[in-house]
Amino acid sequence: MTFTLPQLPYDKAALEPHISAQTLEFHHGKHHNAYVTKANELVKGTPLEGLPLEKALIEAHKQGGAAFNNIGQIYNHNLFWKSMTPNGGGVAPAPLADKINEAFGSFDKFKEQFVAGGMGQFGSGWVWLVSDKGKLEIVKTANAETPLTEGKTPLLVCDVWEHAYYLDYQNRRADFLKVFIEKLANWTFAAEAYKA
């Protein structure tokens, strides 16, 4: 198979009380797994078969359609799991914290803008902290779209599809976004992605 479902980087109950084991069971075990299964079906016998995920994503984006949608969802979910950690949140380490302050005015303003970005994404999608040639931006994308296809480097991403939060937060997307950025954000992962 070209694509595989990665193991979560923590136990399914590790993000409680912020995200329940039941949500991760459905989100990772069913939704993410379904994208992996479908993407493998769609790329079989095509030039995308056997490509590494990021290369397959870039190539599939040129064509659009179902293959891109499923590959994009695999890539985005892989980053979403890494964007969270038990006992996360807090403040980003330097030099990323300095870049955040420079780009957004302060860390608190960044958090406000990140939540606003997630709230401003109508319907299903994602809100990202990205580096565009070293300059930080908050970007929102719909459905399976990703800033990677625009040459930007994702540092942190929050899934705002309803299946990411509905079992725990119902329609309270803002509460979910605040918890993500204040209690779960994996700043170590973001800082390493920024250096890379």
Residue 11 lies in a domain: no
Query: What residue ranges in 133-196 does DSSP mark as E strands?
Result: 135-142, 153-159
pLDDT, tens digit (0-9, with 9 covering 90-100), for 84-93: 999 999 999 9
Helices marked H in 4-64 — which ranges? Answer: 21-26, 33-43, 53-63
Q: Does the residue 116 lie in any domain?
A: yes
DSSP bridge partners of 102? none
Assign residue 27 the CATH number of its domain.
Answer: 1.10.287.990
Asked whether residue 55 falls in the same domain as residue 142, the answer is no
- Total structural domains within the chain: 2
CATH number at residue 165: 3.55.40.20
On whether residue 5 sits in a domain, the answer given is no
Instruction: Report the C-alpha gap between 190 and 35 in whole angstroms.
Output: 24
Map tokens 């078969």 to a residue.
49
For residue 58 the two structure tokens come to 């870039």
159 forms beta bridges with 126
* Residue 28 structural domain: 21-82
Q: What is the mean pLDDT of each run of 10 residues along the chain (196 residues)?
A: 94 98 96 98 96 97 96 98 97 94 97 97 96 95 97 97 96 97 97 87
Assess if residue 59 is contained within a domain.
yes
Q: Please give the Cα distance from 154 to 145 (Å, whole number).
A: 12
In a domain, 48, yes or no: yes
Is 126 within 8 Å of 160 (Cβ atoms)?
A: yes
